[in-house]
Structure formats: structure tokens, C-alpha cells
């Protein structure tokens, strides 16, 4: 997979968060896939593992953000088997609270599949919206 294809896949993956289709997301990730929010926050910092974990995450995401995150994408870079993108969400959570977070996503590929995602975001804002 060349860098242009990796960038396209990264954006396709994150755009799928708007109305998550577990089956589609499952096809985009490797068998040993790991997704982790880099945080020390109960309920958010446990890694999501494998295709089954990705399918479960899709349901959780839809329940938390029924209208999707409404991402606005910033810079995206790719080199070797790595890619990264900055973006910002602007939506309303299922609990009625405004959710406007900023993110940096790191991706590692194995061939044409996403093997790893690390999500960096404002965890205090996430805590205020989802855990208070």
C-alpha cells in the first residue's frame, strides 16, 4: 500500500465513525488489531482488540455519539507503514452534552489492513462529557 492509499484508508476508517458499520470496520482491520485511547481513565483506556473488539466498539461509539463525531480533518501524513492525522469533533453526545474534542490519531498498517490505532485527545473534556 502506498502512502496515498494509506491516507485514503485512514480517512475512510475515521469517516466510518459518523455512522459506524461494524462489518465495514471489521474488513479494514487486521486479525491482531489494537485500538487504544492513550489515557488513564476507567472505561476509556482499555485497549480494543481484534475484529470482534472493533465491532463492539462501533456499537459503543454509536450509542455515545448518535449523530457521529462530525470530524473536521486537519493534516494527514504517511510514511512507511505509519500514518497520522489531526482532527476535531463537533457534536452532541447521547447525554445531551456538547462534545467538541481535538484528536491526533496514529495508525500502523500491516499490508493493506490497519493493525494499530492510538488515539490522543483531551481526556479531561471526554471525562466531563461522558463520565460526570
The mean predicted confidence, pLDDT, of the chain is: 94
What percent of the chain stands above pLDDT 70? 98
Q: What is the per-residue pLDDT for 41?
A: 74
CB atoms < 10 A from the CB of 40, how many?
A: 7
**Exposure of 112 by Cβ count < 10 A (0-12 exposed, 13-18 middle, 19+ buried)?**
exposed
Please report which residue ranges of 21-117 form alpha helices under DSSP H: 22-28, 50-64
pLDDT category at 23 given cuts 50, 70, 90 is: very high
Q: 40: pLDDT confidence band, cut at 50, 70 and 90?
A: confident
Set of cell numbers at residue 120: 490522543
Domain boundaries, the chain: 3-130
Q: Is the predicted pLDDT of residue 131 greater than 90, yes or no?
A: no
Q: What is the pLDDT of residues 41-71, one digit of tens each?
A: 776 778 999 999 999 999 999 999 999 999 9
Report the CATH architecture of 3-130: Roll (3.10)
Contacts of 33 (CB under 8 A, 6+ apart): 48, 49, 50, 51, 53, 54, 113, 114, 115, 116
Amino acid at each position: 500500500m502506498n502512502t496515498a492509499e494509506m491516507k485514503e484508508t485512514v480517512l475512510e476508517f475515521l469517516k466510518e465513525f459518523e455512522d459506524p458499520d461494524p462489518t465495514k470496520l471489521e474488513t479494514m482491520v487486521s486479525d491482531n488489531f489494537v485500538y487504544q485511547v492513550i489515557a488513564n481513565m476507567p472505561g476509556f483506556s482499555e485497549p480494543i482488540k481484534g475484529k470482534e473488539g472493533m465491532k463492539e466498539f462501533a456499537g459503543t461509539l454509536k450509542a455515545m455519539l448518535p449523530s457521529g463525531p462530525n470530524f473536521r480533518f486537519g493534516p494527514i501524513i504517511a510514511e512507511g507503514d505509519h500514518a497520522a492525522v489531526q482532527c476535531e469533533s463537533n457534536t452532541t453526545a447521547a447525554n445531551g452534552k456538547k462534545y467538541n474534542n481535538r484528536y491526533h490519531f496514529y495508525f500502523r498498517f500491516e499490508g493493506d489492513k490497519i493493525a494499530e490505532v492510538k488515539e490522543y485527545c483531551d481526556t479531561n473534556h471526554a471525562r466531563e462529557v461522558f463520565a460526570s
